[in-house]
Amino acid sequence: MKRIEIIANQSVQDAIASRLEQAIDGFAYTVIPVVHGITKERRRLGNGTWPEENFLLISYIDDQLLPQVQKLMIEIKHKFPQEGIKLFVIESCFSIQES
């Protein structure tokens, strides 16, 4: 199991979420809708000087789905090259599930 985190400009949130939902049956995720941050290239602070904001999408996926997610995110990044799209992959820790 992998934890994926996608951070990008809010302008592409719907495009990313809908593509993942269409591509992966039963894709479940959590969105943190407002994320502020600073990188070397740009600032997204949601204020008068730097008005743009990011979002964060978090999902736990089976290992075999990772190549599909990576391919999809590369395609989306090519379509929206200026939106700061980043994909982070983290080894999942222990998961407690009800029996």
Residues 6+ positions from 49 with CB-CB distance below 8 Å = none
Instruction: Write down the pLDDT at residue 61.
Output: 96
Instruction: Write down the pLDDT at residue 37.
Output: 84
Instruction: Write down the pLDDT at residue 12.
Output: 97
Per-block mean pLDDT, blocks of 10 residues, the chain (99 long): 96 97 97 89 80 94 97 97 95 70
The residue ranges of DSSP E strands in the chain, in sequence order, are: 2-9, 30-35, 37-38, 43-44, 54-61, 86-91
Instruction: Write down the pLDDT at residue 4.
Output: 98
For 2-82, CATH number out of 3.90.10.10, 3.40.50.1100, 3.30.70.120, 3.30.420.40 equals 3.30.70.120
Domain boundaries, the chain: 2-82
